[in-house]
Amino acid sequence: MRTIKVQTDRPYDILIERGIINRCGELIKSVSKAQKVCIVTDSNVEKLYSEKVISSIKASGFETELFVFEAGEENKRLSTIADMYSCFADFHMSRKDLVVALGGGVTGDMAGFAAASYMRGIEFVQIPTSLLAQVDSSVGGKTGVDIQQGKNLVGAFWQPNMVIVDPDTLSTLPDYYINDGMAEVIKYGCIKDEKLFETLENENALSIIEDIIEICVSIKRDVVNADEREKGERMLLNFGHTLGHSLEKIYNYKGLSHGQAVAIGMCMITKASEKAGITKAGTTDRIVALCKKYGLPVSDKADFREIAQVCSSDKKTAGGSVNLVLLEKIGTSFTKPTPLNGLEKFITV
């Protein structure tokens, strides 16, 4: 088993091991005195893993309940959270009880936010089953939901008790979802680790996926340890996300996945910063080639003006400017406050 320790205000371990989902109950028992556990999952993952997880959790002495919502980013909304609250209340959960987020990033974000806000905060454990969640969203304590005005505008920082990562769950994912997660993997190479980026260029990531997960999680652990609430260095994790979130909103969270939007955002912002002489020449070509290798889009027909306008409601804006994450070169990144009224001109290439 690979164990990565996160030293936030509430420290916890990230455990990585094939088949570990079968022991999730005993692992949860080791970090919680809860009596009741509510497993939150979506309609896709429920068919694959809920029975296995419920069986393990029951075997460890917990009372269990299952909450299933319809899969899809379009259901990452406050009405779904309200339904979760009703489920928790009907199950008579107390402040000592626990929520399990079983699934991808949407599930983890919403279950984490529900746990953070129900009775002003109850415990939760992440069991991420998508590549995107395993390498990124399950770690660091960011939770949230989308509202009409933008993505993740309502949320909280709420660290889990534990993250249980079973790479075997990736075997049930269609290529579409593997590609989606690879956008976040590529992001980590871009912002922090040129060696990881080169490995992705030269090898098939899936053949060494446990190593890839460990590297990405370790990078995020180090960033989160240094900046738990995104006041400085943690902003670097948003590389590609500012423009990506705008694209997701433009398409109403349908037809363009989070990973696809991030891939386009990384290519678009790097092309702009390279044009401005900020980023090393040739960097965009490398990112474009790597995204294409892993089946990700690298451009979009959306109007630059509309993208810039939507950015104005992004949570990373402040005082009439937006913090763009740019690259000096592969593996070296920084934030650059950019006036919103100059964003369209900057990204138009």
For the annotated catalytic residues, the residue numbers are 120, 142, 184, 220, 230, 234, 238, 241, 245, 258
* 307 CB-side CA count, 13 A: 26
Query: How many Cβ atoms from other residues are within 10 Å of residue 163's Cβ?
Result: 25
Nearest to 324, CA basis, from 313, 310, 306, 311: 311
Cα–Cα distance between 263 and 268 in angstroms, integer? 9
Cα–Cα distance between 137 and 161 in angstroms, integer? 15
Pair 16, 36: CB distance under 8 Å? no
Tokens 């939150």 sit on residue: 40
How many helices (H) and strands (E) in the chain? Answer: 13, 12
Cα–Cα distance between 70 and 2 in angstroms, integer? 32
What residues form DSSP beta bridges with 150?
A: 147
Tokens 């900046």 sit on residue: 227
SS3 call for 281: coil
∠168-169-172 over CA atoms, to 5°? 110
R_g over Cα of the chain:
19
Pair 144, 109: CB distance under 8 Å? yes
Given phi > 0 = left and psi -120 to 50 = alpha, else beta, which region is 122? beta
SS3 call for 267: helix
**3-state helix/strand/coil string of 179-212:** HHHHHHHHHHHHHHCHHHHHHHHHCCHHHHHHHH
* Strands 36-42 and 98-103, bridge-based pairing: parallel
Cα–Cα distance between 285 and 303 in angstroms, integer? 22
